[in-house]
Amino acid sequence: MIQFSEVNKRYAGGNEALAGVSFNIEHGEMVFLTGPSGAGKSTLLKLLALIERPSRGQIVVNGQNLGGIRRGQIPHYRRKVGVIFQDHKLLHDRSVFDNVALPLIIAGVAHQDIPKRVSAALELVGLAHKERALPVMLSTGEQQRVGIARAVISRPPILIADEPTGNLDPDLSFEVMQLFRRLNQVGITVLVASHDHTLIRRLGQRVLSLRAGRVVAPELQGDAHAGRA
Amino acid sequence: MPAARDDGARGARLSRQTLRQRFAAYLLHHRQMLAAGFGRLRRHPLATLMTVMVIGIALALPAGTLVLVSNAKSVSGTWQGAARISLFLKQNLSDSALQQLADRVRTYAGVASVKVITASQSLAEFQQHSGFGDTLSLLGNNPLPAVLVIRPANAYTTPLAAQQLGQELGALPQVAEVRMDIQWLRRLQAMLDILHRAVLIIALLLALAVVLIVGNTIRLEIENRRTEIEVSKLLGATDAFIRRPFLYHGAWYGLAGGVMAWMLVLFALLLMAGPVAHLASLYGSQFHLSGLGLKGSLTLLVSSIALGWLGSWVAVARHLRAIEPT
């Protein structure tokens, strides 16, 4: 579903964020991406969302080589990848309903279908009663769940999340991760960047670990975990 | 996960949306952006009013001047309609020959009417008006020729056609001299043409100014809505989708500016109507200023909308590409 082959990303200025990254995520898998700050987690997710382009190497998502996607085709690619941000990126001048409905409006979904689908998505994240609220009236955890509802409403086959629990307390974090788990169980391929090792171990999913722009071998990482635990 | 599965079923339906549904959603988005654009103008009434005033003044200047020029042209046109061609005939033409000639001239296609002034009538008129009556009576015989005063038919009142008619009539053997008092009218016409051209050039420059004003206003709007643009791009919005609200916004500015210009022109004409009527009455004329008219008003509004749209397009084309999610 997601395939990186020898991917390098060097930013203007010489900073090499990713160096020879190769991995493969199967359809329907749920994978955690870990590593310290500056290890290249965000860069990797940006490459997947086509916010950045790799300097070298090849990325294939859902059978599509990202190198072959021209600028004009990026919007159509992005509609098939749900993205969740640490800072939610909600629009604060409009209601929860309008925020969640935005991907459908962008995709040109018939307007009579929109309310039902927004309700279903908000129900999924447990915010069915908050449709009319403005994002500022919600707690951080609730805002994050609105962001998740917005990411899944167009039912993308892939969901990527950048530190989705970065601002949440442990209970809320676990709840949000449970939500990803449930989305994964209905067939969505999920990639979550997080440095919350305790939480990751509790969920028991495959872990992809980055150190200084390289994928670290699982056994090494297991040692690291063992050492810390 | 009943809710999730339910959502999944709907997701599957998304891809099966008919073309017609997609088109309906597309049209709906246009309608919503049309309404939203107007809403944005209303949300900041003072700022909007100032921008609209600037656009209105920029458009009213050329529109108003064009109205005045076309009024001046129509005035000179009516004078031209009154153009007369005088045929001074050779001496010693008998009265019957004179009548014959007059009848012949009446058959010309370009001639609307012919007034015959015999030599003795000329003399009587001259004596009456000039004050040289006594001197003339000393001459013994009448030195004045008979005259045919010709009013050209409507189709022959343009300078060129009147000129041709005059030459044609001048070729008649009985005619000594042709006099046409239209030369100065042609000069006036030429001057008005120059003025008209100058106004058009100014209009083009001011139209460019409107494009820049709207462009700058929309640029600020784009800056204010940066987050929204970034998020929309991340959610898969096409450039056209992101452009749409700004284009409608600009078009609304154009329309509002056009209406403002229309009102300014109307107001200026109302202020001038009194003095113009007074001047016309001094010339014994029924002339009154005509306004933009239906065609002029529509042209003004359509071009102002187009300029607003264009200005916003320029801003959007320059700045939207620069805003990419990071």
Q: Span B294-308, mean pLDDT?
A: 94
**Residue A227 pLDDT:** 39
3-state class (DSSP) for residue B324 = coil
DSSP string computed for B172-237:
STTEEEEEETTHHHHHHHHHHHHHHHHHHHHHHHHHHHHHHHHHHHHHHHHHHTHHHHHHHHHTT-
Q: How many Å lie between the alpha carbon of B249 and the closest alpha carbon of chain A?
A: 18
Domains of chain B in start order, with CATH, are 26-78+187-319 (no CATH), 84-180 (3.30.70.3040)
- Cβ of residue B36 closer than 8 Å to a chain A Cβ: no
User: pLDDT digits over A57-81, tens only?
Assistant: 999 999 999 999 998 899 999 999 9
Report yes or no: B27 at the A interface, CB cutoff 8 Å.
Answer: no
Return the higher-pLDDT residue of A198 and B243: B243
B98-122 average pLDDT score: 85
Angle at B259 between CA B254 and CA B263, to 5 degrees: 145
Four-way CATH pick for A1-80+157-229: 3.30.70.100, 3.40.50.300, 3.40.120.10, 1.20.1270.10: 3.40.50.300
Residues in chain B within 8 Å Cβ distance of A106: 232, 235-237, 241
Nearest by CB: B4 against A77, A89, A124: A124
Q: Has residue B169 got a pLDDT over 90?
A: no
- Sheet containing A56-61: which strands, arranged edge to edge? A16-25, A2-10, A56-61, A64-65
Q: Which of A72, A102, A183 sits opposite B235 (nearest CB)?
A: A102
Closest residue, chain B, to A72 (C-alpha):
B238
Is the distance from CB of B170 to CB of B86 less than 8 angstroms? Answer: no
Q: CA of A208 to nearest chain B CA: how many angstroms apart?
A: 23
Q: Mean pLDDT over all residues of chain B?
A: 83
* Confidence (pLDDT) at A219: 42
Overall average pLDDT of the B126-134 stretch: 71
Quote the CA–CA distance of A157 and A80 in Å, as a whole number: 6
Cβ–Cβ contact A45 with B under 8 A: no
Q: Does B14 touch chain A (CB under 8 A)?
A: yes
Position B80 confidence tier, pLDDT thresholds 50, 70, 90: low
pLDDT (tens digit per residue) in B178-228: 887 667 777 887 888 898 899 899 999 999 999 999 999 999 999 989 999
Q: What is the pLDDT of residue B133?
A: 64
ipTM of the complex: 0.88
Q: Where are the domains of chain A?
A: 1-80+157-229, 86-155
Contacts of A121 in chain B (CB under 8 A): 7
Whose CA is closest to B309, among B10, B19, B1, B33? B33
Mean pLDDT of B49-61: 93
User: Alpha-carbon distance A37 to A34, whole Å?
Assistant: 9
Q: Is the pLDDT of residue B7 over 70?
A: no
- Tell me if B312 sits within 8 A of B218, measured CB to CB: yes
pLDDT of residue A118: 95
Please identify every stretch of chain A with a pLDDT value under 70, giving residue numbers as ranges. 217-229
Helix (H/G/I), strand (E/B), else coil: B299: helix
Predicted pLDDT at B278: 87
| Strand residues in B1-94 grouped as ranges (E) | 85-89
Candidates A196, A193, A209, A118; CA nearest to A155 is A118
